[in-house]
Amino acid sequence: MGEVKLSFSLSGALGGTREVLLFGFCLLLFGFLLLPSCSWGVGLTMSPLSFDLELLPGSKEELVCTLFNESAQEIRLQAFVAGTVEERDGTYRPAGPEDTLDPQHSCVAWVRLEEATLVLPPFGGKEIRAILTVPPSAQPGLYTAMIVFQAAAEEEKTALQGQAAVLKTKVDVLLGNVLFVRVRRRGVAQRWSGKFGVIEAFEVKGTEEGLRFSATFANRGRDIIEGKGKLIVTNALGKRVIESPLGSGRGRVLPGFSLDFVTLYTGNLPPGDYAALAVIDYGGVHRAEAKTIFHVEGKEVAERKREIQDVGIAAVNPVFLSVSKEILEGKISPGANRSFTVALYNDSSHTVVARGIAVDPAETESTHFSSFVEVAPEKVEIAPYKTKTVRITVKSPDSVSEGDKYVRVDFLPESVDGKPVPEELRRAFGASTLLVLENVKGVKILKADLTGIEFVLEGPPQKAAFRPRAVVRFRNTGSTHLQPSCTITLVRVQEETPEEGAVAVKPGSSLTLVSKKNPDLVLPGGEGMLVLESQNTLEPGKYTLMLVIAHQGKEILRKEETLKLHPGG
């Protein structure tokens, strides 16, 4: 199991040929294969290994997963949908009867498999299809499920050679395809909303190999968290003696689960007192931190004191607000007023007091208009699972500069059950609505610059063809917002000097990738990202790339490039 990934950046003028290398890696989900010790090998490969989806309430998505039987015997599988459990070492497994999962983060009931019983012929493959339907009432957040493929308890296979006896082979297969479904309403992506994590435990222990530092990071929010850990150890004089990553790479933590960030220090520390600081940066509005004081005497380590994060932060009950409309659109003209109403919903069992604040979300100064926006009432108290309505009024001055205007109104919780919410957590628990104010005066400029492309070629690394996915990044350099679509066409071209003995490739075969629907609005000066996919496969080789970005059907960017896609170096 695995996938092959390549990445490269395109900036400025494009032209010429670029060499792009593919790097193979394995994504560990949850799968094992039990086989008897015999000459009949049984092997399954699956592609893709997971689905990362971003969908709107009420939308549908078709899921296609391919299983390939690499053995000489037929395999029968049962397919079903289960909840997802994340272990503290970062692996996933299907939920069992002993697991208690939060239904607020499960999308098991949203998935319908077209087939429950699958038959894979020897050295043959099969596509498994499912329909995922997001309920119209689904709240923003991260939801997970797992499509599980399990063999019958026992299958008997017969191999006859003359009068040879019957050979019985037991096949017990369990493979899991994890679904990560992020639900959001139409609007500008809210980078901070829903992300809240704390370090629940931090300790240092002496082992035969060295000092083991371990921090347990818990995701208490409603969105997935990817945390990056750092370890800092100082001596009694305050001098840093250790500074290293805590854990390896970025740890992905599902809502409601915890992950251990572990580092083993194999060096020698002189006897004395030390302080260890664990820092986990997860892209939220604050960093999770914890500290422990310990004493070293030879191989003996004794902890003296632990300080687990800011008490005011760790003790906060997570609450999450949502709004009835994440985008409000209207026209403005000099001297005229415009009003909107928004319902603010408290999606928690706690009483929340929230304040509405108008801010300028775009970098381009000519789009700023927050000083002319009022929220009434400015502060509201919302009972558990109740709604309050607020009015947003735009009071245009007598003179308005050219160009469209954008204002984001943040509703930030100031207290929960009468207890103040720390400043750094208010945006994590809050909600926002974006005012898109079309100015009747001025000319709209639609323009974008390409800043990078990343390809992911999905499929077992040993195969000759892959299913491509591309991520396109760009910057809005125009004067108005963009809600773009994108296509990439790859056309196979003949290598100039094929290797000796190589089979000539027929040039001209093409493949087109199309961006997903419902892209975010990208404001002037802002950066956007589009994900493009294709259900067809791609062979390594030389290609011409044609990329087109359009806004509401109007082309605003076109780039061409010649590149080579091939495994290894």
pLDDT for residue 414: 94
pLDDT tens-place string over residues 242-270? 999 998 756 788 888 999 999 999 988 99
pLDDT for residue 276: 93
pLDDT tens-place string over residues 343-394? 998 878 899 999 999 999 888 888 999 999 999 999 999 998 899 999 999 9
pLDDT for residue 234: 94
Residue 197 has pLDDT above 80, yes or no: yes
pLDDT for residue 357: 95
Q: How confident is the model at residue 495 (pLDDT cuts 50, 70, 90)?
A: low
Residue 135 has pLDDT above 70, yes or no: yes
Q: Is 367 helix (H, G, I), strand (E, B) or coil?
A: helix
Interval 5-26 mean pLDDT: 29
Rounded alpha-carbon distances, angstroms, from residue 473 to 8, 35, 518, 531, 563: 11, 45, 16, 9, 18
Distance CA 70, CA 72 (A): 7
pLDDT for residue 184: 76
Of 216, 177, 265, 243, give the one whose Cα is nearest residue 90.
216
If phi over 0 gives left and psi between -120 and 50 gives alpha, with beta otherwise, what is residue 114? Answer: alpha
457 within 8 A of 6, measured Cβ to Cβ: yes
Query: Picking from 40-49, 361-370, 412-421, 543-552, which range would have the lowest pLDDT averaged per residue?
Result: 40-49
Of 268, 167, 253, give the one whose Cα is nearest residue 215.
253
Q: How confident is the model at residue 494 (pLDDT cuts 50, 70, 90)?
A: confident
Q: Report pTM.
A: 0.61
Of 205 and 160, the structure prediction assigns the larger pLDDT to: 205
How many CB atoms are located within 10 Å of the residue 509 CB? 14
Domains of the chain, earliest start first: 1-24+445-569 (2.60.40.10), 35-184 (2.60.40.10), 197-314 (2.60.40.2360), 321-439 (2.60.40.10)
pLDDT tens-place string over residues 54-87? 888 899 999 998 888 888 888 888 999 999 999 8
Q: What is the mean pLDDT of the chain?
A: 79
